[in-house]
Amino acid sequence: MSGKPLRAAFFLCGCAAFLNLYATQGILRELAQAFGVSAERAGQGVSATTLAVAIIAPFVGAIAAPFARRTVIAGAAMASALPAWWAAHAGGFATFLAARFAVGMLMPFIFAIAVSFIGELFSREETAQVSALFVAGTTLGGFAGRFVTNACVSALGWRHALDVVAMLSLVSGVAIYAWLPDVRRAGRESRIGEPPAPSRLQLFTRPPLLASFGFGACVLASQVATFTFAGLRLAQPPYGFGAAQIGAIYAVFLLATVVTPLAGRIARHRSPRDLAVWAAWLALAGALLTLAHGLVPILLGLALGSTAVFVEQAAANTFISQSAGAARPTAIGLYLSFYYLGGSLGSVLPVAAWRLWGWSGCVAFVIGAQALAGLLAWRFWRPRALHGVPGIEARVPLR
């Protein structure tokens, strides 16, 4: 398989990676009522999943190494339906969190192996484009998981709404298995004479990659904080949104499905550093727009902010894929660990600010996270930053 079908397969991998991840983010009030907890605490259904990703991600490369890439990615997508159904029919909040944690343990096997696979199969220039297409898929998956859940709540109840999302995961896994090529190790990773991969300790001591890990944590923390508390804000007066309307706000993610692939084309001629810095500025503008009281500027701000996050994610994927060489699976795993650890913190750290200052406190948190992300990319993602590092190829395009 080559060309457009293969690229479509990676787009679907992105969808599968995010389909279940945030499915509960828009039904916090329903979960709170069902389990007798506060809406803020119900948000732990998201943080439990992202925490599991953060824990398992560094080990995904080693666990998946003996198996074909297609088998790992498709198997994880199909298997994720089981804990998703478990969460849908949990009898208590602790059981619900355990099921959500189990969902998170499978997600890195989709995300990390797919990103690594892209780096193996495509050239440097193509990697930027396909990574952006993959991230556009994560955008659609993240939207679909939230939207389908919230759209089905009124007719089916939240439990059967989550059943529908679980079924979509199963179907996605079957399609991925049919479309991806059967490859264990490919292209550049198996190339004779490539320097040995550095250890995790070496990766942690190299500023460019370490900055990438911090960058990812800041980016997802800002995204999770934004959409966790935006739903709570819009549920309050004067907006009074119901579950279906809250689910509909995630339609702003659809803008990123168009913009991110376009950004990937631009990235063929610009460095990931440029892309990340400009996206951070866009995220700051979007966060400030949401401070308005009108619904239109709020939705526009959410659209700009979410689009910026996905472009930043594409830039980070490209930077690591182009720069980590033989250490690619380990580097991506560590990046994911920090990325989703940041996501876990994004639903927890702003709680105090939300209670004290409302939405303004959340926006302050988002601005701080995005400003730090932009600074890390600007300072450490320099084109020559990785030259001379054993086992790491500095292939970031020079301007």
HEC per residue, the chain? CCCHHHHHHHHHHHHHHHHCCCCCCCCHHHHHHHHCCCHHHHCHHHHHHHHHHHHHHHHHHHHHCCCCHHHHHHHHHHHCHHHHHHHHCCCCHHHHHHHHHHHHHHHHHHHHHHHHHHHHHCCHHHHHHHHHHHHHHHHHHHHHHHHHHHHHHHHHCHHHHHHHHHHHHHHHHHHHHHHCCCCCCCHHHHCCCCCCCCCHHHHHCCHHHHHHHHHHHHHHHHHHHHHHHHHHHHHCCCCCCCHHHHHHHHHHHHHHHHHHHHHHHHCCCCCHHHHHHHHHHHHHHHHHHCCCCCHHHHHHHHHHHHHHHHHHHHHHHHHHHHHCHHHHHHHHHHHHHHHHHHHHHHCCCHHHHHHHHCHHHHHHHHHHHHHHHHHHHHHHCCCCCCCCCCCCCCCCCCC
Confidence at residue 376, expressed as pLDDT on a 0 to 100 scale: 96
Q: Residue 2 burial by CB count (10 A; 0-12/13-18/19+): exposed, middle or buried?
A: exposed
In this structure, is residue 396 part of a structural domain?
no
Please indicate, yes or no, whether residues 252 and 362 belong to a single structural domain of this protein. yes
The answer to whether residues 357 and 287 touch, using CB atoms and an 8 Å cutoff, is: no
Confidence at residue 41, expressed as pLDDT on a 0 to 100 scale: 87
Domain count, the chain: 2
The answer to whether residues 64 and 109 touch, using CB atoms and an 8 Å cutoff, is: yes
Cis peptide before 238 (omega within 30 of 0): yes
In this structure, is residue 192 part of a structural domain?
no
Please indicate, yes or no, whether residues 161 and 275 belong to a single structural domain of this protein. no
Please indicate, yes or no, whether residues 156 and 262 belong to a single structural domain of this protein. no
Please indicate, yes or no, whether residues 164 and 228 belong to a single structural domain of this protein. no
Confidence at residue 194, expressed as pLDDT on a 0 to 100 scale: 46
Q: CA 297 to CA 293: how far, in whole Å?
A: 8
Confidence at residue 199, expressed as pLDDT on a 0 to 100 scale: 55
Q: Nearest-CA neighbor of 21 among 286, 176, 250, 240?
A: 250
Range of the domain at 6: 1-180
Confidence at residue 193, expressed as pLDDT on a 0 to 100 scale: 43
In this structure, is residue 343 part of a structural domain?
yes
In this structure, is residue 263 part of a structural domain?
yes
104 φ/ψ angles, rounded to the nearest 5 degrees: -65, -30
Q: Nearest-CA neighbor of 272 among 202, 321, 336, 307?
A: 321
Q: Nearest-CA neighbor of 107 among 35, 56, 170?
A: 56
In this structure, is residue 111 part of a structural domain?
yes
Please indicate, yes or no, whether residues 88 and 233 belong to a single structural domain of this protein. no
162: CATH = 1.20.1250.20
Please indicate, yes or no, whether residues 171 and 241 belong to a single structural domain of this protein. no
Confidence at residue 386, expressed as pLDDT on a 0 to 100 scale: 46
Confidence at residue 99, expressed as pLDDT on a 0 to 100 scale: 96
In this structure, is residue 16 part of a structural domain?
yes
Please indicate, yes or no, whether residues 103 and 68 belong to a single structural domain of this protein. yes
Please indicate, yes or no, whether residues 112 and 247 belong to a single structural domain of this protein. no
User: pLDDT tens digits for 257-283?
Assistant: 888 887 777 766 678 899 999 999 999
Please indicate, yes or no, whether residues 160 and 224 belong to a single structural domain of this protein. no
In this structure, is residue 189 part of a structural domain?
no
Retrieve residue 399's tokens: 């301007």
One digit per residue, the tens of pLDDT, for the chain of length 399 reads 556 778 889 999 999 999 998 899 888 889 999 999 988 789 888 889 988 988 998 888 889 888 999 999 999 999 999 999 999 999 999 999 999 999 999 999 998 899 888 878 887 778 778 888 898 898 889 888 988 998 898 789 999 999 999 999 999 999 999 999 886 554 444 444 444 555 555 666 678 888 999 999 999 999 989 988 998 899 888 998 887 788 788 788 888 888 888 777 776 667 889 999 999 999 999 999 999 989 999 999 999 999 999 889 888 988 887 776 666 777 888 888 898 888 878 888 998 999 999 999 999 999 999 999 999 999 999 765 544 444 444 333 323
CA atoms within 13 A on the CB side of 201: 0
Please indicate, yes or no, whether residues 14 and 57 belong to a single structural domain of this protein. yes
In this structure, is residue 232 part of a structural domain?
yes
Please indicate, yes or no, whether residues 343 and 212 belong to a single structural domain of this protein. yes
User: pLDDT tens digits for 158-210?
Assistant: 999 999 999 999 999 999 999 998 865 544 444 444 445 555 556 666 788 88
Q: Nearest-CA neighbor of 121 among 105, 133, 109?
A: 133
Confidence at residue 169, expressed as pLDDT on a 0 to 100 scale: 95
* Residue found by looking up tokens 């949401």 in the block: 290
Please indicate, yes or no, whether residues 291 and 163 belong to a single structural domain of this protein. no
User: pLDDT tens digits for 108-142?
Assistant: 999 889 988 887 888 777 877 888 889 889 888 98
- The amino acid that residue 245 corresponds to is Q
